[in-house]
Structure 1
Amino acid sequence: MERRLFLGSVAGAFLTTACGGGDDGGEPVNPAEPELPVDPDPFRQSTKLAMRRAARYMDESVSSSGAYVWSYLAANRNKCWGEMEATPTMVWMQPTGTPSVGHALIDAYHATKDETFYKAAERTALVMVEAQHASGGWNYIHDLAGEPALKRWYETVGANGWRLEEFQHYYGNATFDDATTAVSAQFMLRMYLEKKDPRFKAALDKAIAFVLDAQFKSGVVAGGWPQRFPRAYNATKAMPAPNWPPTGPGWEQLVAGNQNGDYIVQGPGGVPGQPGYTGIFSGMEDGDYTNFVTFNDDVMGENIKFLMLASFGLGDMSLKAPAVAAMDCMYNIMYEYDGDTTKASNPNATATPQAGWGLQHLSADTVDAYGVLRKAGLPAAARSYEPRGLSPSVSITNATQLFHYFRLTGDRKYLSKLGKVFDWIDTCALRNNQRSRTAERPDGDPESILTGTHARVVELESNRPRFPHRYGTNIHNGAYFIDHDWRRTPGHYGASQNASTAGPRATLARMQALSNAEIAAMVASSPLNVQGERALPTYFTVNGEVDFPHLWANAVKGTAARSQEQTQTLIDSLGEKSHWSEPQSTFTNAYTQDGPSTPYLGKEYMSTHVGDQFDTSPFGSNQMPAKEPYVSSPPVAEQVINSSTFVGNLGNLVSFIAPVATVNDPAYKA
């Protein structure tokens, strides 16, 4: 059925609809198949027919009226998943869900001119219009059965996903996290520009207004974005910590005054009389993180990119000023500590200077969990396993963004502090004995699972790494805590990451060596200087996503080379079944009831991806705890249909039948 038939009464229409929008024996969604333009090359024509078969199957037999999650059991599409297990009526807006499939369909339409792809993309766009929050953004998920059904999911499956704290509470607003709103808004922009359909213009206007309304308007954070918007004043400000702290054999490091890693600490909750010191802590150090300026998952870069795409896609030059304001926010908010210990608030401060960014920064003056007033702009904690501090990896990402901002504007200020950032990162690399033992690191700690060069988070002023841990078996009898011990960190969260400064230092040197004339030529071709309307890149999902270099005046985003042999292999794998499938690699425990609150002092769950059988977090087949009290049998891998595989394979076929040559703007300085 066409999507418009459902807009008035969704709940009733979808109560009997599976995650798949149809079944192999039912009536097709679009019975009148558009005529396929004839290609004189028989193999190219067969490739286009294969693409059509795959797209029709996804649209008619997998989607829920154009909506997608991440993966489906091929044999029973009522069993489906986004980042967590989904219900049959869910729309998953996080990439690689609904908007990612929509982008791939439009890419295929551009390559084939086959209306089949546009009609499927149109259904996807219409369900996204329905899923759009009243404020103009999108939440991670939407439920076609209505808000009560979505709330029930949050109260059951979401609430018991131990490590997925963003799904444990229903906020009723929209999010920038994981590019959820940015990728959805990009797709709505493309759908409107394709045929100037007013239905999509209204949704696009709301999305643009959302991005602009959500920007902070004043102070050091002006131009930045929060993780979620509008602000939810009922947001979680503190995580529960049942049975904290665990005591007894094996937990001596949590007793005041005992050894914790390399450091003597003063016990749970910080040091009495020395507010701000965070030796061992369980909870959320800075409260509700959803309103902080967010750098995690490149929120800033994704939103700036969308504003620029919209500016020359629509010819709306007014969108450039908010983009520049966001660039200035990233520059202005950078944290600096000059090494003067007499001015430090941390009693363990060292004389080592620091410069960089955290995953998030305070958007307003905030009283933290220690009772200390902290100023807007300072690095902040987020989820309970994301402590306050600087992140070397995020700082490398932000430095890369500032390189882009320099290229866009020609303003040398964006480069002016990056040398300090790279100097700091080189001071805080993990020691060999803090990382996991390998042939290259025979002195590595056998209890460490850290493989990256740096801790994800480094403490302010002391320059010491901070590591997340957890105790218990599920969210009802356990929690996360933070200390300085590198051993037994959670397997689901990279407590270490790579943060090499060699490449960024070389880029900085090249940027600093540019002459004024070279900078002027580069800026003249910048998308900030494009006047009026301009065509968007032809493809958004083929050969990687659209990025800043593709937006320069004389640049063309191209496709990767694909041979006839590679294309035939993809067509063969599609087979008679008309869909691509693969063995399941991610599993979940079905929600049955809340887990037990009985204290558990074992350590079997400290480094696992999942807790006991009541934890609804996803995990791989080799990521289950090996010991009791986990009582479930190892999962059996079945065949699944993954949205990401469809997107990737369709893009590979596009690359073969309608390749586009890459063109790098000569004025763009790589």
Structure 2
Amino acid sequence: MSTFRSIFSAVALSFLIVQSGIAQPKNLNPDVRSAMLSATKFMVEKASTNGGYVAHYLPDFSRRWGELEGFKTQIWVQDPGTVSMGNIFLDAYNATGDEYYYQAAEKVASALIWGQRPEGGWNYMIDFAGDRSLKQWYNTIGKNAWGFEEYYYYYNNTTFDDSNTSGPANFLLRIYLQKMDLKFKPALDKAIQLIIDSQYPLGGWPQRYPLKNNHPKNGKDDYTSFYTFNDEVISGNIDFLIQCYATLGEERFLDPIRRGMNFYLITQQGNPQGGWGQQYNMDLQPTYARSYEPAALMPGFTYTHVLLLLKYYQLTGDSKFLARIPDAIKWLESSMLPQDKREGGTRTHATFIEIGTNKGLYAHRKGSGVSDGHYWHDYDDKNLLAHYGGKANINIQHLKDEYKRISSLPVEEAVKNSPLKVGTVEDGSLPQKQLISGSVNGPVPNEAAINTIIGSLDQDRWLVKHIQISRPYSVTADGKEMNTAKLSDENGKGIVDASEQQYISTREYEKNMSLLIKYLKR
């Protein structure tokens, strides 16, 4: 059936391409190359700070935002920001051969290396004005960003949250392999060693490292030392180490990779609740994190972990990764919401499931900021926390189909493309080639779409409106510090800027560049 669908999809795509005029397109390559270069020169020469980026800027650069508002001396590591910009530069270089893009990527690497922490990782942002400025940001914007509790304190250590360390490490690996330029190798080696050293013996990773417990809250331990699945902490580090093994070929990566994959097995809960939480304490019990993250099991993470176990089986051929997938699926079926709570069929599960009872736990909040705001959770599914999501939609049938498909494969077939299996590449291609070439793929945009992208350039910028921003840091006349989080209502639902204000957007740049690159590579 899957083969039939693939053939049908290919025929349908071919029909659409012919119908849209792509079969014999006008050669827009010169216009595409010109637009790409003009937009890139603007970003590199006007928007960047020492080679790094944030997500959005006002056109006069008087304000800028990463996940929160940043100082003018700061760049953001996480996507969309410095790392994602570096990767799109390398994608453009591989598509065009123009050295300007490689030089732009070099500047990104230099910015990341400047901001690499002594232990080898990265914080969420890099401040070129140094620690005094960064501490000032945490003491003003960070500590008043209600709901963004990961920014309340200046930990002065590495974070693995949101791939903030595996992301730049992977970019350094990629740019090193691009030309085998040894100037990137020391920083890359330092990042690799940190990820290896910070792994717990049982295979998981903490959210931050070196370990600290200097910011307890409400009588609870600081959650940043807990085993953390949330925001690709563990899976991101495993994926990076697999890339290292595939491209650098060192056997020392195999043990941390295997221990990381095994950690998914030892943290799956016993029946009848064979799912996972998103954090675990040192006793391997699901535990709390931020104020709106109770100790609970999570259907969303269980869904993701089942797909990861299927992937790990295809990497190793070891049936232990398949053994308890049926238990996870059975739990997902048993924990579905009653019909009257499924929001018209758009939701299947509560985001959090209480351990033991299988009841949904629902997070709420009230207030307007850090000084008067409060989070809590209960069994009431009304007025749910909007910035996190109180309910989820889990496609159990997809898990069943994938489990059936992959578990029925002969082992040799299942692992045939695994970079962890000993053997040579059949076509003789270098294992580094795939990482270098990037991941810009998918349907090629048609000529009309390309013309729209090129025509939307405004003074060499791609501008957007109606994004979610935050208020600047301010103090009222009575000394009250105002909320610096992104605009939202009392339940946390995001509020976009409804005015006609335009913003420079790295996300928009990356999206349009990706489409133009696809057109060039067609």
- TM-score normalised to the size of structure 1? 0.70
Which residue is equivalent to 1:63?
48
Per-residue CA deviations over 1:35-65 (Å, capped at 9, x if unaligned) read xxxxxx9631221121111111100011112
Of 208, 212, 237, which aligns to 2:216?
237
Of 513, 531, 534, which aligns to 2:431?
534
Matched position secondary structure for 1:480: strand
The list of structure 1 runs, each at least 4 consecutive aligned residues, that deviate by more than 6 angstroms after superposition, is 594-598
Which residue is equivalent to 1:581?
463
Distance (Å, rounded) in 1 between the aligned partners of 2:422 and 2:46: 43
Say whether residues 1:614 and 2:509 are aligned partners.
no
Q: Given residue 497 of structure 1, which amino acid in structure 2 is its aligned partner?
A: A
Counterpart mapping for 1:289-328 below 5 A: 289-328=223-262
Per-residue CA deviations over 1:346-401 (Å, capped at 9, x if unaligned) read xxxxxxx2111001111x2xxxxxxxxxxx11111110100001001100001110
Say whether residues 1:98 and 2:54 are aligned partners.
no
Ranges in structure 2 where 5+ consecutive residues have no aligned partner: 1-25, 425-429
Matched position secondary structure for 1:469: strand
- TM-score normalised to the size of structure 2? 0.89
Instruction: Name whichever structure is richer in helix by fraction.
Output: 2
Distance (Å, rounded) in 2 between the aligned partners of 1:380 and 1:592: 35
Contact map agreement 1:104 1:541 (CA 8 A) in 2: no
Say whether residues 1:457 and 2:352 are aligned partners.
yes
Distance (Å, rounded) in 1 between the aligned partners of 2:415 and 2:457: 46
Of 453, 465, 479, which aligns to 1:570?
453
> 1:312: Cα distance to partner?
2.2
Which residue is equivalent to 1:37?
none
Distance (Å, rounded) in 2 between the aligned partners of 1:649 and 1:531: 39
Distance 1:633 1:323, change over 3 A: closer
Distance (Å, rounded) in 2 between the aligned partners of 1:501 and 1:43: 44
Distance 1:315 1:512, change over 3 A: closer
Contact map agreement 1:456 1:495 (CA 8 A) in 2: yes
Distance (Å, rounded) in 2 between the aligned partners of 1:470 and 1:534: 49
Q: Given residue 126 of structure 1, which amino acid in structure 2 is its aligned partner?
A: S
Which residue is equivalent to 1:288?
222
Distance 1:528 1:481, change over 3 A: same
> 1:478: Cα distance to partner?
2.5
Which residue is equivalent to 1:427?
334
Contact map agreement 2:466 2:498 (CA 8 A) in 1: no
Say whether residues 1:153 and 2:153 are aligned partners.
no
Which residue is equivalent to 1:521?
413
Which residue is equivalent to 1:223?
203
Per-residue CA deviations over 1:611-637 (Å, capped at 9, x if unaligned) read xx9211113xxx4469xxxxx998634
Distance 1:588 1:653, change over 3 A: same
Considering only CA atoms, is the larger Rg found in Structure 1 or Structure 2? Answer: 1
Q: Given residue 617 of structure 1, which amino acid in structure 2 is its aligned partner?
A: A
Matched position secondary structure for 2:405: helix
Ranges in structure 1 where 5+ consecutive residues have no aligned partner: 1-40, 240-283, 339-352, 365-375, 442-450, 544-558, 599-612, 627-631, 660-670
Q: Given residue 44 of structure 2, which amino acid in structure 1 is its aligned partner?
A: D
Of 488, 499, 524, which aligns to 2:394?
499
Per-residue CA deviations over 1:108-129 (Å, capped at 9, x if unaligned) read 0000000110111111110100
Distance 1:176 1:524, change over 3 A: same
Contact map agreement 2:352 2:360 (CA 8 A) in 1: yes
> 1:490: Cα distance to partner?
1.8
Which residue is equivalent to 1:207?
191
Whose relative contact order is higher, 1 or 2, with alpha carbons under 8 Å and at least 6 apart?
Answer: 2
Per-residue CA deviations over 1:213-237 (Å, capped at 9, x if unaligned) read 11101xxxx1111111111231x22
Distance (Å, rounded) in 1 between the aligned partners of 2:119 and 2:175: 20
Which residue is equivalent to 1:122?
106
Calculate percent identity across the aligned residue pairs.
Answer: 34
> 1:597: Cα distance to partner?
11
Distance 1:582 1:393, change over 3 A: same
Say whether residues 1:44 and 2:29 are aligned partners.
yes
Counterpart mapping for 1:125-524 below 5 A: 125-217=109-201, 222-234=202-214, 236-239=215-218, 287-336=221-270, 338=271, 353-362=272-281, 364=282, 376-434=283-341, 436=343, 440=344, 452-514=347-409, 518-524=410-416
Q: Given residue 54 of structure 1, which amino acid in structure 2 is its aligned partner?
A: A
Q: Given residue 160 of structure 2, which amino acid in structure 1 is its aligned partner?
A: F
**Please, which moves more after superposition, 152-161 or 519-528?**
519-528
Distance (Å, rounded) in 1 between the aligned partners of 2:443 and 2:163: 24
Q: Given residue 534 of structure 1, which amino acid in structure 2 is its aligned partner?
A: P
Distance 1:484 1:541, change over 3 A: same
Distance 1:127 1:378, change over 3 A: same
Aligned length: 488
Contact map agreement 1:477 1:597 (CA 8 A) in 2: no
Say whether residues 1:80 and 2:64 are aligned partners.
yes
Distance (Å, rounded) in 1 between the aligned partners of 2:497 and 2:313: 52
Q: Given residue 421 of structure 2, which amino acid in structure 1 is its aligned partner?
A: N
Distance (Å, rounded) in 1 between the aligned partners of 2:120 and 2:476: 34
Distance 1:541 1:81, change over 3 A: farther
Q: Given residue 276 of structure 2, which amino acid in structure 1 is its aligned partner?
A: W
> 1:288: Cα distance to partner?
1.6
> 1:432: Cα distance to partner?
3.8
> 1:199: Cα distance to partner?
2.4
Distance (Å, rounded) in 2 between the aligned partners of 1:431 and 1:42: 56
RMSD of aligned alpha carbons: 2.3
Distance (Å, rounded) in 2 between the aligned partners of 1:152 and 1:654: 40
Which residue is equivalent to 1:245?
none
Contact map agreement 2:205 2:234 (CA 8 A) in 1: yes
